[in-house]
Amino acid sequence: MKKSPVNAATLMILEPTGVYRPATPKEILAAAKTAVGYVYGRGSLFTAPAAGREYLSAKLAGRESECFAILFLDNRHRLIEYREMFYGTIDGASVHPREVVKAALEVNAAAVIFAHNHPSGETEPSMADMRITQRLKDALGLVEIRVLDHLVVGATITSFAERGLL
């Protein structure tokens, strides 16, 4: 197991008994997921691939199975909603374009950023990742919703937009 760059001994949890103890790495990740929701609320701006990295890393990194999530954005690329849509196993998740289009229309999104994690930590997009991204882009294009990026979260984050894969 990798050594954490964060000193968990400095992050403390208050037990119901009133005693403090060092936080576990899982508790730290859970707290980060909660905190990122406060930092990036409705209306937060996501105009470049770097804008979503911190947010999505906190939401998706460290999971033991794949999760496919979407940032639904308005026409100025401000956050409408973050939604985890599909869950899978250690090496895949079934993504259904019909459900993605339905959810995007439900929140009146003008653009989206897709994200999913690779539990292995390897962030190289697979052929399946590229195929589903294209299928989603085609489906959303029919209702004039732009796909800004697809981020693969693992030990690092890989952006389809930065790689020219969109």
Q: What is the pLDDT of residues 39-55, one digit of tens each?
A: 455 555 555 556 678 77
103 φ, ψ to 5°? -65, -40
Structure token digits, residue 41: 């609320």
Domain boundaries, the chain: 6-39, 42-159
Average pLDDT score, the chain = 84
Q: What's the fold here for domain 42-159?
A: Cytidine Deaminase; domain 2 (3.40.140)
**What are 52-96's pLDDT values in tens digits?**
787 788 888 888 899 999 999 999 988 999 999 999 988 888 999
State pTM to two decimals. 0.72
